[in-house]
Amino acid sequence: MENPNIEQKIQDFIARIEARNPNEPEFLQAVKEVAITVLPFIATRKEYAGKKLLERMAEAERIIIFRVPWMDDKGEIHVNRGYRIQMNSAIGPYKGGIRFHPTVNLSVLKFLAFEQVFKNSLTTLPMGGGKGGANFDPQGKSDMEIMRFCQAFMTEMCKHIGPETDVPAGDIGVGAREIGYLFGQYKKIRNEFTGVLTGKGLAYGGSLIRPEATGYGVVYFCEQMLKTIGETIEGKTFSVSGFGNVAWGVVKKINELGGKVLTISGPDGYIYDEEGISGAKVDFMLSMRASGTNRAQDFATEFPSAVFHAGKRPWEVKCDVAIPAATQNELLLEDAELLVANGVLCVTEAANMPSTLEAINYFVENKILFSPGKASNAGGVATSGLEMTQNSIRLNWTSEEVDARLKEIMIGIHKACRDYGKEDNGYVNYVKGANIAGFVKVAEAMLAQGVV
């Protein structure tokens, strides 16, 4: 960093955040990544001086933590912990998913809510940032257990959300089925049929393309990144991680655009398929997800061309483009080194914060086209925003209309990242671009609304 004064300011800022949020490594990681790129920008703007804008953004407006008691099929009672983080409402109602996963804790949800503020701002739609969830493990639970858990969760959460206040959606462990149960319970308690959740089924206010949107958006973003070096998706090889909703949308769109997907993965290891993951194999990803077993190995049992690598991550495979689409911190420095050594052209994040800070720095130092999830995976929440609009005007748009708007939004985000992220030597630092572009809109709204 050229300015020693700024360097000191960044360190002091991070020290304050760390002191106020002890034992929250994921949250600190997310704030650090933003602080390093945004504080130097703030220092160049007189109107931002002394307003503590980033410091205010790093403190949730409200955090709700609650007990979720529920009964399993055998009549045994279980207790989980539920959360809703209402991070920032400067530009719209809180908006962000619900995650049901055993790894859920305050740090993880605060990092996700913090990221969501910047991501939602990048979409240009009027959505603030929030996130919620529970340390509940859906794996191996019956349909009725899932229903009872969702009902117990919503019994408390319904007091804190609403279409003009906070609009949750899905995330890991929460798909169309869970959103249905959550919506049903909200409607029963509040006696209101409103667009309080997104990712709803088509029969009760959902939007076409919402299930595909995150993955499609990632590939549209990747297409734009490749375009800057005169390349296209067609004919390229892709390493994808994960096999859930986001990975599925990514794989589907890559195939449509003529790319070849070599890998997908699960917590148990990854699948390498030299013939490419296309056709019936893409549909099989849906049944893997529905089965709830969380095993990538099942894919290799089904398709003989697929080889299963137990306990490994797919980043050791030579590919043109890497798309981490599983979860946070799944791509480490050693993985980044392997990818770069194997000649990767582009890394487009599809999960939230899948790369560690060290991995990101390595990509940036090596001038790899690299985009952070908060920019490249924003198509999911953007399409949630389009679902909210359709609910408000009580109309449904066609797939073509939603898809065209999604694509336009992703092209807009890519442009915003370039505008703020272009460095003197011509390299586009998408991390810096996304953070600053996301920050500016929220900052302007906060400045206008005073110290609240």
DSSP letter for 422, please. B
Shortest Å, Cβ 133 to ligand GLU: 10
Is residue 374 involved in binding ligand GLU (CB under 6 A)? Answer: no
Residue 103, CA atoms < 13 Å, CB-side half-sphere: 10
In the block, tokens 């370039």 appear at 418
d(CA 169, CA 192): 17
The token duo for 2 is 């050229």
Q: 384-413: which residues touch ligand GLU (CB under 6 A)?
A: 384
**Burial class of residue 452 in the structure, from the number of CB atoms within 10 Å of its CB (0-12 exposed, 13-18 middle, 19+ buried):** exposed
- Please say whether the dihedral angle defined by the alpha carbons of residues 385, 292, 323 and 304, taken in this order, is positive or negative: negative
Q: How many CB atoms lie within 10 A of CB 41?
A: 17
- 169 scored as a contact of ligand GLU (CB under 6 A): yes
Written as six digits, the tokens of 250 are 């990514």
Name the residue number minimizing CB distance to ligand GLU. 97
Can you tell me the distance from the alpha carbon of 65 to that of 158, in angstroms, rounded to the nearest whole number? 13
CB of 226 to ligand GLU, least distance (A): 23
Token pair, residue 309, equals 């690598």
Stretch binding ligand GLU (CB under 6 A), from 259-267, 289-297, 378-386, 406-414: 378-386
Cα distance between residue 334 and residue 49, in whole Å:
39
* 324 scored as a contact of ligand GLU (CB under 6 A): no
Q: Residues 192-231: x/- map of binding to ligand GLU (CB under 6 A)? A: ------x---------------------------------
**Does residue number 429 form part of the binding site for ligand GLU (CB under 6 A)?**
no
State which residue, 99 or 148, has the beta carbon closest to ligand GLU.
99
Coil/strand/helix, residue 322: strand
Q: Which stretch binds ligand GLU (CB under 6 A): 90-98, 251-259, 311-319, 414-422?
A: 90-98
Q: Specify the residue, 40 or 242, whose C-beta has the smaller distance to ligand GLU.
A: 242
* 330 lies in the site for ligand GLU, by CB under 6 A: no
Decide whether 255 or 327 has the Cβ nearer to ligand GLU.
327
- Note the Cα 340 to chain centre separation in Å: 24
314 makes contact with ligand GLU (CB under 6 A): no
Q: Does residue number 96 form part of the binding site for ligand GLU (CB under 6 A)?
A: yes
Closest approach of ligand GLU to the CB of residue 381, in Å = 4
- Shortest spacing between CB 199 and ligand GLU, in angstroms: 6
Nearest distance in Å: CB 177, ligand GLU = 16
Other residues' Cβ atoms within 10 Å of the Cβ of residue 345: 16
Q: According to CB under 6 A, which residues from 119 to 158 bind ligand GLU?
A: 119
Kindly determine how many residues on this chain lie close enough to bind ligand GLU according to the rule CB under 6 A.
11
User: Using an 8 Å Cβ cutoff, are 354 and 326 in contact?
Assistant: yes
Q: Please report how close the Cβ of residue 210 comes to ligand GLU at its closest, in angstroms.
A: 8
Q: Minimum Å distance from CB 90 to ligand GLU?
A: 17
236/374 with CB nearer ligand GLU: 374
Classify residue 128 by its DSSP letter. Answer: -
Catalytic residues: 131
- The residues binding ligand GLU (CB under 6 A) are 95-97, 119, 169, 171, 198, 352, 380-381, 384
